[in-house]
Structure 1
């Protein structure tokens, strides 16, 4: 079995997407929903399977952790595609994917929307608490 097919099987296992539906253009996070612990387990899995040197790999540059939020200001610039992982497996060592400004901007917009929604929910909860308290005092 080819490296590409073996890798697509591992990506399929970790994403739940059928191997035949996985394409090299797909991004692990954006298209396949592989992030956090799932991403860590996939990378660990392929490292063992293909005997990869991942000393240059920085998880925080490519993936959001399961908990705790973004830790690296460069996150979003270097999304990992299936095609990139195929090339990593062929080379037997990690190298940075191409820098993707559009992906970074998309991530920043999504983060802004998430923060605005969180502030809105917090404000609604706070207002509800104040309303309940003011009714109890009356």
Structure 2
């Protein structure tokens, strides 16, 4: 009886090894594709964050260089600086993407510096009926 038990134990060990190998062979491609997607997404997010930091630097440089105005020259300087920095860090971005990032940096800066500039004057806002009206 001992020989039969060893025979079946060996057979079950071989079967378990085959099933484990087949499972691994099926899961490795799926997991590698998911891992590649995850790493690509992380890289793209990192590059986007870096691009926005570079755009902020470019906007600050252009603002410091041309404090008196001259928008087209500011934009040209900022785009040139951002393209140079992107090339140095290995970020591939189109000119439109770089310009959009710079425009966003400028809008963020303007919103921080002049947060109340877009609001109407206090006299232009009508008070709701029933509040502070004398009858």
If the length of structure 2 is used for normalisation, what is the TM-score? 0.29
Task: Identify, as 1 or 2, the structure richer in helix.
Answer: 2
Greater Rg, structure 1 or structure 2?
Answer: 2
If the length of structure 1 is used for normalisation, what is the TM-score? 0.28
